[in-house]
Amino acid sequence: MTKEKIEPAEHINKFEKTTEIVLDLSEDFSLSNGWGKKELIAHLLVWDIEILRIVKDVFEGKEVVWSEEYSGSKLDEWNDKQLEQYKEKSLNEVVDMFKEKREELIKNYKLLIEKNLEGKAADLFGLWKHDLHHIKKVKGESFNI
């Protein structure tokens, strides 16, 4: 069985949908790891920032390099460290930062397509799947977009 290839523009469409869903989540859920809406959005925000860093490298003609800081078993530690910087922020502050970075990331995705660089950044377009993974933790595993 082969996977259906998703075009970059469709990835952007799905990314916009998952963004809306995340922002529309109620504030009263608690995930098994103790995260609420603020922590979930902060987690997605730190990954948006990381992907923006990598996209910048693509625009500069560099190879896509994932940081050693979060490779393998270091991932949970890296996530926890990144979330610390948002601990004292309010939900509204985190949401505003998330919206700003999401818009920037979507613009950059579109620019990658315009400049025919999407092939060099193919792995970066699937970030919506990361969103969906976390959305399913709130809405149930059968949820899909």
pTM score: 0.89
Q: Between 3.30.450, 1.20.1260, 3.30.70, 1.20.120, what CATH number should domain 8-139 receive?
A: 1.20.120
- Between CA 139 and CA 113, with CA 131 as vertex, the angle to 5 degrees is 140
Give the Cα separation of 108 and 129 in Å (integer): 18
Q: What is the pLDDT of residue 99?
A: 98
Enumerate the domain spans of the chain.
8-139
Give the Cα separation of 109 and 115 in Å (integer): 10
Residues in the chain, pLDDT under 70: 1-4, 68-73
